[in-house]
Structure 1
Amino acid sequence: MEIKINEVTYSYTESGQGQTILLLHGFTGSKETWGNLIKELELNFHVIAIDLLGHGETDAPIDDERYKMEYAAKDLSDFLIQKQIDSVHLLGYSMGGRLALYFALAYPAKISSLILESCTAGLNTERERLARIEQDTKLSSMIMNDGIETFVNYWENIPLFSTQKNLPKSSQEEIKQGRLNQSPIGLSNSLKGMGTGIQPSLWNDLNQFHKTTLLVCGEYDEKFCLIMGKMNEKLKNSEIIKIPHAGHAIHVEQSEKFATIVSGFLLEREKEEIS
């Protein structure tokens, strides 16, 4: 399905009935990466998975400014308005988790609950931010100058994704093909406009968010488990779950376990609303 939001055509899938859960994928991902989770959730919920700006079948604007968090979040808000959806359970992974958190803080009335998988609230120091911006700029140049295949070969071998080498070859090939199918300008501009360095730090705003929040990390992803543990301390109404035998992309590496946890969390929220 397609919908035009602020001059950008967004692609999304929609299935199931009930309360709405909106799924936001990570960098180099797409709505397709949620396949296993959607099958589980659509039994009880109205599930929307959207291709974020510059990813999948959604447009990839030339101007990297258009990818900034404030514009990406407004697109999501306007998407919900067009779809006549007042509020959602929002789930975001990695880059999509950062956007989900930004959206939840900017539009709290539109949030029923929040689920964040393997993400951060941003970088705290100017030194960290500048170093990350420099790193993302280099990656952006690699995509545009050396081509998407060179970039994907590099990206799939970074330490963050080392645990994905344990997946079946067919799954690894599917992930790789999904990355190769991305728009080079879309990925490049996502790094420049929505990268961790360029995004505003949200750490000081976490204690203002009161909606029920679930933080999920994989036990092998020590860096993000540490980060999310600190987020859990600052959030008012949150819990953190560490998934055994999983790295960064839990919904891929432990898809059934992840689906069970997410579904259970959402059904619990539904029970609370009824009572």
Structure 2
Amino acid sequence: MTLKKYKFNYYLNVNINKPLIIFLHGFMGNINEFDEAIKFLAEDFSYLTLDLPGHGKTQVLGGDEYYRIEPTAQAIINLLDELKIDKCYLIGYSMGGRLALYLTLHFPERFIKVVLESASPGLATEADRLERVRRDAQIARKLSRSIIKTDFAAFLSNWYSQPIFGSIKNHPEFERLLENRLQNHLTELTKSLQFMGTGNQPSLWEKFKDNTTPLLLVAGENDEKFRDINTEMANICKIAQLKVISNTAHNIHFENAGEFVQNIREFFQKQ
């Protein structure tokens, strides 16, 4: 669907009289990111999945500024309007979690409850944001030098060696995850990193304190960085609750889809 500066690749599954969840994937993910979790939820929910700008088959028809979080969020609201979706549940992972939080804080009337998996409100200080922009630029340069598929595969292997991902490379389905990531276009990924990376995102910490939408913060036991961030988030927002999932790191829905979904169900069904 073409919406002004975007041509979104999306999939809408309507389960009559069942509430709808929109899923937002993380960096290097795509429309299939939550397939395993959706298998557990499909009988009881409708769902909307999409490729975010810079990922999969979604096309950005405007300039580079349309990869940023602010116009992307507005475009998603426009997509919901076009699909006649007034209110829904929202789940976002990592980069998609940051986008989900932005949507929650700026369009609270559109979301019933929100799940943020391994996400954050961004970086609090200008110095931290500038340092992150510098680091992301380095990563973008590495990505841009990945001329052939084997180069990109080597980049991914290094990427998933980061401490936040724990032992994900030992997961029996890790090769499938890599193949999924390899479907992306490097030029587009680079733009996403440059313009929707954490360093370029406006800090949401102050606005987060006044959030009025019920939030479930999900962090992995073995992802110390985001476990700490989400603990701080839960401490400053009374309507946010934190769930730490054992034996997982950053990519919880991939490492333990069953427990991830169980917590989602309990949160969505709780009155």
Relative to the length of structure 1, the TM-score reads 0.92
Q: Which of the numbers 11, 14, 26 marks the counterpart of 1:13?
A: 11
Q: Which of the numbers 160, 167, 175 marks the counterpart of 1:163?
A: 167
| Structure 1 counterpart of 2:242 | 240
| Structure 2 counterpart of 1:37 | 37
| Structure 2 counterpart of 1:231 | 233
| Structure 2 counterpart of 1:154 | 158
| Structure 1 counterpart of 2:96 | 96
| Structure 1 counterpart of 2:191 | 189
Q: CA deviation at 1:60?
A: 4.9
Q: CA deviation at 1:157?
A: 2.2
Q: CA deviation at 1:226?
A: 0.5
Instruction: Report the 3-state secondary structure (helix = DSSP H, G, I; strand = E; otherwise coil) of the residue aligned with 1:157.
Output: coil
Q: CA deviation at 1:260?
A: 1.3
Identity of aligned residues (%): 34
Q: CA deviation at 1:198?
A: 0.7
- Give the aligned residue type for 1:166: N
Q: CA deviation at 1:61?
A: 5.4
Q: Which whole-Å CA distance do the structure 2 matches of 1:139 and 1:150 have between them? A: 13
Q: Which whole-Å CA distance do the structure 1 matches of 2:72 and 2:202 have between them? A: 13
**Are residues 1:47 and 2:19 paired?**
no
- Give the aligned residue type for 1:104: T
Going from structure 1 to structure 2, the CA distance change for 1:101 and 1:111 (only over 3 Å counts) comes to same
1:243-254 paired onto structure 2 within 5 Å: 243-254=245-256
Q: Which of the numbers 204, 227, 231 marks the counterpart of 2:206?
A: 204
Gaps of 5+ in 2: none
Q: Which whole-Å CA distance do the structure 1 matches of 2:118 and 2:71 have between them? A: 23
Instruction: Report the 3-state secondary structure (helix = DSSP H, G, I; strand = E; otherwise coil) of the residue aligned with 2:200.
Output: coil
- Give the aligned residue type for 2:265: S
- Give the aligned residue type for 2:257: S
Higher helix share: 1
Q: Which of the numbers 259, 262, 272 marks the counterpart of 2:261?
A: 259
RMSD: 1.4
| Structure 2 counterpart of 1:83 | 83
Would you say how many aligned residue pairs link Structure 1 and Structure 2? 265
Relative to the length of structure 2, the TM-score reads 0.93
